[in-house]
Chain A
């Protein structure tokens, strides 16, 4: 099983600042990596797929990069509504697995 590890566990960022979240895979997932945002009591929402493609309706301040085993989600200018837990997911090695999440807090 491909283990996905996210860092940091919690990230506290001031409004307007940049937030950088990391995701590492225990083996290569090429570019088959998705990012989701989950707010309390809500279902996850797809942000990024294929490592760097924004999903429909996702603001341009969200961007993804990386390939192989190292990936990054960047929120270029943090807004208050971005407070949430962010999960990465690999989509190539069965079974498909998620990271443990990074909680983004507004400072």
Chain B
């Protein structure tokens, strides 16, 4: 069974940093592109970032470019999102999601981790 388990969320002050992790199991993690998607309370889903299967290519939404960094450790079956210079508007539940065919839709999601940016 495919499982994605996020961790690392919490309360952080504006300008602060957090690193999110997503532990994957039940599939060959190294073969898949992976994404981060976020959802502010009561709002729509928003794509944040993606990384290809070997980690050599990444892309970011304009709203996080230059502040967030996506990475992966295939030996640990783990996806990461380093978030720096956090802003109030980054407050959201962050989901990691698997891209099954490099087609930018998401067939498996984690349960999400809440990031709250507030002073």
Contact = CB atoms under 8 A, between A and B. Distances in A.
Interface of A: 32, 34, 36, 42-46, 49-50, 55-56, 87, 89, 91-92, 94-101
A3 to B, nearest CB: 11
Chief secondary structure at chain A's binding surface: loop
B32 interface: no
Interface of B: 44-47, 59, 61-62, 95, 103-112
Chief secondary structure at chain B's binding surface: loop
Contact of A43 (B61, B95, B105): B95
20 contacts: A34-B106, A36-B45, A43-B110, A43-B112, A44-B95, A44-B106, A44-B109, A46-B105, A46-B107, A49-B103, A50-B103, A87-B44, A91-B105, A92-B104, A95-B61, A96-B104, A97-B47, A98-B44, A98-B46, A99-B44
Contacts of A96: 47, 104
B106 A46 contact: yes
A49 B103 CA distance: 9
Nearest to A90: B104
Contacts of B110: 43
Contact of B103 (A55, A91, A94): A91
